[in-house]
């Protein structure tokens, strides 16, 4: 039911490919099965920066054979924690996204399969909230609070459910990760009932760059049966 509840969190912070000319930064990441370690997919990102500001990203998803099977467009211009985005999976026509309305109102939409109609709903996000890849900027905006050990409650917007859910994020420890000083965070849904279905996500951030280095948990990408992958994503340094 909550297949896409963590849409993003992890989608624009991976291996640099060594290109940042003309305001473009390109990098990629690899997702493996959390239990077996088998390769599931790779995502290839292109960020556009203007005047030192990240304004948009395009992410292409490729299967182990290198075939593109999904694409995401994300725009941070209006609100970097509530970015506008659209994700489409070409395999079955799955479509989801969010469009910012007035203030912090967001129109969330989803289409389960190509033959289905698009379902949408406008919700009020609230002050402490995040959508898709905007979660990473939420972490950056609250970096010092998290680093001090503060637990932060916020609403995560979920297009697949056309709703928002209360989550918490907090530091579990600081330490080294592949020779880099790192901050370890855990993201959990607040509802005790929903926590039986939505498991915590563990993230590791580079303290120096504030870039994510590892992600463990539910992916925003589905398998051939329409269920979210459980993944480990290890990111390179930038």
Rounded-to-integer distance, Cα 108 and Cα 95, Å: 11
Summarised one tens digit per residue, pLDDT across range 105-149 is 999 999 999 999 999 999 999 889 999 999 999 999 999 999 999
Q: Mention every residue, 6+ apart, whose C-beta is less than 8 A from residue 196.
A: none
CA 174 to chain centre: 22
CB 222 within 8 A of CB 238: no
Rounded-to-integer distance, Cα 162 and Cα 36, Å: 32
Q: Mention every residue, 6+ apart, whose C-beta is less than 8 A from residue 158.
A: 2, 4, 5, 7, 108, 164, 165
Q: Mention every residue, 6+ apart, whose C-beta is less than 8 A from residue 92.
A: 113, 114, 226
Q: For residue 145, count other CB atoms closer than 10 A to its CB.
A: 14
Q: Where are the domains of the chain?
A: 22-237
Rounded-to-integer distance, Cα 79 and Cα 132, Å: 12
Count of residues for the chain? 238
- Bridge-based pairing of strands 163-177 and 152-158 is antiparallel
- Strand stretches in 118-179, DSSP E: 119-124, 129-131, 152-158, 163-177
Per-residue pLDDT at 212 = 87
Residue 161 DSSP label: G
Residue 218 DSSP label: E
With a cut of 70, which residues of the chain have pLDDT below it?
1-22, 236-238
Per-residue pLDDT at 133 = 92
The reply to whether the predicted model has a pTM over 0.85 is yes
Per-residue pLDDT at 8 = 37
């Amino acid at each position: 039911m909550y297949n896409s509840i963590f849409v993003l969190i992890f989608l624009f912070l991976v291996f640099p490919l060594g290109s940042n000319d003309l305001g473009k930064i390109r990098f990629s990441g690899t997702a493996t099965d959390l239990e077996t370690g088998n390769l599931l997919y790779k995502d290839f990102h292109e960020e556009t920066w203007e005047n030192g500001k990240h304004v948009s990203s395009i992410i292409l998803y490729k299967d182990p054979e290198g075939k593109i099977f999904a694409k995401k467009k994300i725009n941070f211009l209006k609100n970097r924690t509530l970015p506008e985005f659209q994700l489409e999976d070409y395999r079955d026509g799955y479509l989801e996204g969010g469009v910012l309305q007035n203030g912090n109102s967001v129109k969330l939409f989803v289409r389960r399969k190509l033959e289905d109609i698009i379902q949408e709903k406008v919700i009020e996000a609230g002050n402490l909230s995040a959508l898709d890849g905007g979660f990473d900027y939420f972490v950056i905006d609250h970096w010092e609070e998290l680093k001090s050990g503060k637990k932060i409650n916020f609403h995560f917007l979920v297009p697949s459910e056309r709703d928002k859910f209360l989550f918490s994020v907090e530091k579990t420890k600081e330490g080294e990760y592949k020779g880099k000083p790192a901050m370890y965070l855990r993201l959990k849904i607040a509802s005790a009932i929903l926590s039986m279905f939505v498991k915590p996500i563990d993230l590791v951030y580079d303290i120096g760059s504030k870039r994510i280095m590892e992600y463990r948990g539910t992916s925003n990408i589905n398998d051939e049966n329409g269920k979210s992958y459980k993944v480990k994503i290890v990111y390179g340094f930038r």
